[in-house]
């Protein structure tokens, strides 16, 4: 059985890559062309897109385990990179600030987009 | 993986604090209650893909932080940038006067052939205007730089400005290619690789430490 937050692979992945075009859930900005990123499974914590400010300064996070792996940042159609936090930058929609949609690793220069945080079209 | 684009241009937004650089880079939002995680960290740069006369062009656009002053922006900051948007606020005389200082700073630190464009932002605020459109145009003529008034709030001329700057860079590049290569023996992808090699040492790690 899939965990609730997990998405069915066969609907989104073909030949190990994203089968569909990836867009922003909120404004529809195009993020990745179809078949431009590798599907990978890895456990990674990401801050929630909306932070509840009533809970003080602590960042609320969730564990995500399905990502699209993008080796070259110029593969993205449209994407924003935040300032560096620890060893990475967070990815955001290039048009509406929505995010983190994933993260960028400073050391490897690779990017990872969370499947659950984007729209597949 | 094969290259999926024809050109890659690095652009920079520069100008006094509060003129609207970040608002120009992103879709304008006055919703102060929508405190997203991203807006608290702030955006460093973004990648946008546009179509210019049938060519796929990737723009890497860098915002500059508010505290930054022209005195502190140095060569390392400008390195690799091919286009610069000089932004002032039409409701702020000082920000307009400072454009000259920004231009001087660019001349001292950026590559000599960097394309520039002047943006007079917040043109929706006509009642508060301190700088007339004519003065903006005059300044642009003086420096032979393109000029347009924009409103990040109304999305007025923002797209136009980026397309114009990108098109000017592309034209300049194609001219250079033609001058240095016999026709037929060249390709856009070729040129691109050469540029990327050049840009390598400016890993944006080193850039980040400057910021
Ligand atoms: N009316 C109006 N307000 C604008 C416009 N562009 C920006 N603003 C407002 O001007 C203020 C400053 O905008 P920013 O985009 O943060 O300015 P900035 O140049 O990034 O400032 P720093 O990051 O401090 O350098 C914000 O309150 C914006 O909402 C515009 O076109 N029209
Ligand atoms: Mg800003
Ligand atoms: Zn969006």
Closest atom, ligand 1, to C-alpha of B121: 31
From the list A51, A77, A81, which residue is nearest B49 (CB)? Answer: A77
> What is the H or E stretch that residue B191 is in?
helix B188-199
B16, B90 in Cβ contact below 8 A?
Answer: no
> What does the pLDDT look like over A81-109, one tens digit per residue?
999 999 999 999 998 888 999 999 999 99
Q: Is the pTM of this model over 0.90?
A: no
CA A119–ligand 3 middle distance (angstroms): 10
Task: Please answer yes or no on whether B47 and A27 come within 8 Å at the CB atom.
Answer: no
Pick the closest to residue A80 from B21, B43, B13 (CA basis). Answer: B43
Alpha carbon of residue A60 to chain centroid: 17
Q: How far, CA to CA in Å, does B107 sit from each of A109, B45, B97, B115, B167?
A: 31, 23, 17, 11, 21
- Work out the average pLDDT over B98-126: 95
B20 C-beta closer than 6 A to ligand 1 = yes
In this structure, what is the dihedral angle of CA atoms A23, A25, A26, A31, given to the nearest 10 degrees?
A: -20
Alpha carbon of residue A84 to chain centroid: 16
From the list A74, A89, A94, which residue is nearest B44 (CB)? Answer: A89
Residues above pLDDT 90, as percent of chain B: 61
A66, A115 in Cβ contact below 8 A?
Answer: yes
- Work out the average pLDDT over B90-112: 94
Average confidence score pLDDT of chain A: 91
Other residues' Cβ atoms within 10 Å of the Cβ of residue B199: 17
pLDDT tier at A63 (50, 70, 90 boundaries)? very high
Task: Please answer yes or no on whether A82 and B35 come within 8 Å at the CB atom.
Answer: no
Among A53-62, B113-122, B198-207, the minimum mean pLDDT is found in B198-207
**Residue B43, pLDDT score:** 87
Between chain A and chain B, the number of residue pairs with CB atoms below 8 A apart is 90
Taking the CA of residue B176 and the nearest CA in chain A, the distance in Å comes to: 24
pLDDT tier at B150 (50, 70, 90 boundaries)? very high
pLDDT tier at B31 (50, 70, 90 boundaries)? low
**Residue A16, pLDDT score:** 96
**Residue B1, pLDDT score:** 54
Whole-number Å distance between alpha carbons of B146 and B168: 10
> What does the pLDDT look like over B187-200, one tens digit per residue?
554 444 444 444 44
Instruction: Decide if pLDDT at B159 tops 70.
Output: yes
Cis omega (within 30 of 0) for bond into A100 = yes
- Work out the average pLDDT over B69-77: 71
CA B99–ligand 3 middle distance (angstroms): 32
Describe chain A by its helix, strand, coil percentages, rounded to 5. Answer: 10, 40, 50
- Maximum Cα–Cα distance across chain B: 58
Instruction: Decide if pLDDT at B146 tops 70.
Output: yes
């Amino acid at each position: 059985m899939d965990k609730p937050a997990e998405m069915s692979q066969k609907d989104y992945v073909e030949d190990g890559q994203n089968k569909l075009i990836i867009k922003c859930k909120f404004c529809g900005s195009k993020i990745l062309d179809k078949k431009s990123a590798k599907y990978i499974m890895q456990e990674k914590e990401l801050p929630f897109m909306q932070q509840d400010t009533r809970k003080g300064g602590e960042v609320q996070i969730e564990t995500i385990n399905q990502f699209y792996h993008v080796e070259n940042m110029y593969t993205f159609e449209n994407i924003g990179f935040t300032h560096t936090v620890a060893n990475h930058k967070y990815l955001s929609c290039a048009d509406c600030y929505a995010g983190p949609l994933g993260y960028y690793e400073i050391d490897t220069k690779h990017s990872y987009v969370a499947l659950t945080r984007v729209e597949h079209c | 993986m094969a290259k999926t684009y024809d050109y890659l241009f690095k652009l920079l937004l520069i100008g006094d604090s509060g003129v609207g650089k970040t608002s120009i880079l992103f879709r304008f939002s006055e919703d102060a209650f929508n405190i997203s995680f991203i807006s608290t960290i702030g955006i460093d740069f973004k990648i946008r893909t546009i179509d210019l006369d049938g060519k796929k062009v990737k723009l890497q656009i860098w915002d500059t932080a508010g505290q930054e002053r022209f005195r502190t922006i140095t060569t390392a900051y400008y390195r690799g940038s091919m286009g610069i948007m000089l932004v002032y606020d039409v409701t702020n005389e000082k920000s307009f006067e400072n454009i000259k200082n920004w231009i001087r700073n660019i001349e001292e630190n950026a590559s000599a052939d960097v394309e520039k464009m002047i943006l007079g932002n917040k043109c929706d605020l006509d009642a508060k205007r301190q700088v007339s459109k004519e003065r903006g145009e005059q300044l642009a003529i003086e420096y032979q730089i393109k000029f347009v008034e924009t409103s990040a709030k109304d999305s007025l001329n923002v797209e136009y400005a980026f397309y114009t700057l990108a098109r000017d860079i592309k034209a300049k590049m194609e001219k250079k290619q033609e001058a240095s290569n016999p026709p037929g023996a060249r390709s856009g992808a070729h040129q691109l690789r050469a540029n990327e090699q050049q840009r390598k040492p400016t890993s944006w790690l080193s850039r980040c430490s400057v910021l």
